[in-house]
Homo-oligomer: A and B are copies of this chain.
């Protein structure tokens, strides 16, 4: 029996990773970008990416790309969109499946980043990128904004313990606008997902500010009780 699949067109499939990073001292949302190492568009800024091998899952490929660049595993990774226009890549017909990842920049070895082709660039000052990579970023960024409003994924970008000011800084960096402090605190406290610690952060003020921790099990309980996470604050 001949296999029907054998006569069909095959396509190159790639993954591109929109790697968002945040550092509590910088208070800026950043993207990890690389310079391309092959033609076409050699040397130009691009999203870290790679081609999906025939014996490799799509998510697996995205994790491989991220690992090769950062040596990080177990990173928050979510599929964003499959970009399928015939002429989106000037080197050939490539369908790329974009993913976004969230990492704490302080987890990355700065020596490794320094020596590699990768650079952190602020989301508000991105260089010109190849192909449709700017559109890919814009979509992933919108998805990130939507996600942090309704899911506690923002904590992926913070150290384990953080102050409420640091949490608000993160949301302001992602939203790229100021938000109302009172309203923000009221919302996050009322969900009862954070544990107030005994320890204080004292570097930024004399009085100090208590550290908090996000407790994933409390979030599970919260959902089971039919509640929805909501940090959509003006």
Which of A's residues lie within 8 Å of B, judged by CB?
1, 3-5, 8-13, 38-39, 51-59, 61, 79, 81-86, 91-95, 97
User: Which of B79, B91, B95 interacts with A3 by CB under 8 Å?
Assistant: B91
Are the CB atoms of A82 and B82 closer together than 8 Å? yes
Q: Which residues of B contact A83 (CB under 8 A)?
A: 58
Q: Judge whether B92 and A5 touch: CB under 8 Å.
A: yes
Residue of B nearest to A2 (CB): B39
A95 touches B13 (CB 8 A): yes
Contact: B11 with A52, CB < 8 Å?
yes
Copies per complex? 2
A58: which B residues are within 8 A, CB to CB?
Answer: 82-85, 95
* B97 & A85 in contact (Cβ 8 Å cutoff): no
**How distant is A157 from chain B, measured CB to nearest CB, in Å?**
24
State whether A38 touches B4 (Cβ < 8 A).
yes
Q: Cβ of B4 and Cβ of A12 under 8 Å apart?
A: no
Chain B residues in 8 Å Cβ range of A9:
51-54
Alpha-carbon separation in the docked complex, A170 to B4 (Å): 40
Closest B residue by C-beta to A96? B82
- Verify B8–A11 contact, CB threshold 8 A: no
With a CB–CB cut-off of 8 A, which chain B residues contact A10? 10-13, 54
Q: Tell me which residues across on chain B come within 8 A of A5, comparing CB atoms.
A: 12, 91-92, 94
Q: Given A59-B84, A79-B82, A81-B79, are A92 and B11 neighbors across the interface (CB < 8 Å)? A: no
**How many Å from the CB of A12 to the closest CB on chain B?**
6
The list of the 4 closest CB pairs from A to B, nearest first, reads A58-B84, A10-B10, A9-B54, A5-B92
A94 surroundings in chain B (CB, below 8 A): 5
